[in-house]
């Protein structure tokens, strides 16, 4: 999930005019994500899902060479649910994710049947929400960082991707306050009072 969040440079302005995808994952990044995600897919399918179960147009039914043509677009779209959840909804009490319709039936212990990259992401989101891990993902509010990170504690008001970024921001604020106090001490206020007319 963290790799997926930080792909495309951690860009979070995923919509332009609330409709169009902006944060495009590069082809190399999409291929890397695809290889990484294949391990998860196979573990969830538990070796019980045959390619014949899938219709021919499904992503994971395609040969690897044909899949590469779709990888960039499919992995770019797959990023949207997790980015919007982490950026816009992590501070809210109740979250909602559409339950992915990817469970193979009939079976006594059905494997998860993953057809598209977004299926895998949605499945991870459902699991993350069930065990309370989603709030540990944080987008850093430092302008020169902007990456996503995982924090040990899932505080709703967490704003930094790591302890290092948090300490850096705190020291920057302390330095600024110190400078302001020095200037006020020597009569050089940063916000001088407006001149009054006589």
Q: What is the pLDDT of residues 160-175, one digit of tens each?
A: 888 888 888 777 776 6
- Please report which residue ranges of 102-162 form alpha helices under DSSP H: 117-130
At 171, list the tokens: 């020291």
Q: Residue 109 contacts by C-beta under 8 Å, 6 or more apart in sequence?
A: none
pLDDT at 10 over 60: yes
Residue 191, pLDDT above cutoff 60: no
Domain ranges for the chain, please list them: 2-150
125, two tokens: 């989101």
The pTM (predicted TM-score) of the whole model is: 0.72
Query: What CA–CA distance (Å, rounded) separates 170 from 175?
Result: 9
Distance CA 3, CA 83 (A): 12
Q: Treating both helix axes as pointing N-terminal to C-terminal, what angle do 117-130 and 64-84 enclose, rounded to 10 degrees?
A: 30
To 10 degrees, the CA torsion angle through 115, 118, 123, 127?
160
| Tens-place pLDDT, residues 20-61 | 555 678 888 899 999 999 998 888 888 888 878 888 889 999
């Amino acid at each position: 999930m963290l790799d997926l969040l930080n792909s495309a440079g951690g860009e979070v302005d995923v919509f332009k005019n609330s409709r169009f995808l902006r944060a495009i994952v590069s082809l190399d990044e999409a291929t890397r994500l695809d290889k990484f995600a294949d391990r998860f897919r196979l573990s969830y399918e538990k070796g019980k899902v045959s390619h014949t179960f899938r219709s021919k147009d499904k992503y994971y039914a395609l040969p690897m060479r044909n899949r590469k043509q779709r990888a960039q677009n499919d992995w770019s779209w797959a990023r949207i649910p997790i980015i919007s959840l982490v950026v816009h909804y992590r501070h809210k009490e109740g979250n909602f994710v559409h339950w992915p319709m990817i469970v193979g039936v009939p079976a006594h212990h059905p494997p998860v049947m993953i057809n598209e990259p977004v299926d895998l992401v949605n499945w991870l989101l459902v699991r993350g929400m069930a065990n309370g891990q989603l709030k540990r993902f944080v987008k850093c509010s430092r302008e020169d960082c902007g990456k996503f990170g995982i924090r040990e504690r899932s505080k709703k008001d967490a704003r930094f991707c790591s302890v290092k970024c948090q300490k850096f921001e705190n020291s920057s604020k302390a330095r600024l306050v110190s400078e302001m106090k020095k200037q006020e001490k020597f009569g050089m206020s940063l916000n001088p009072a407006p001149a009054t007319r006589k």
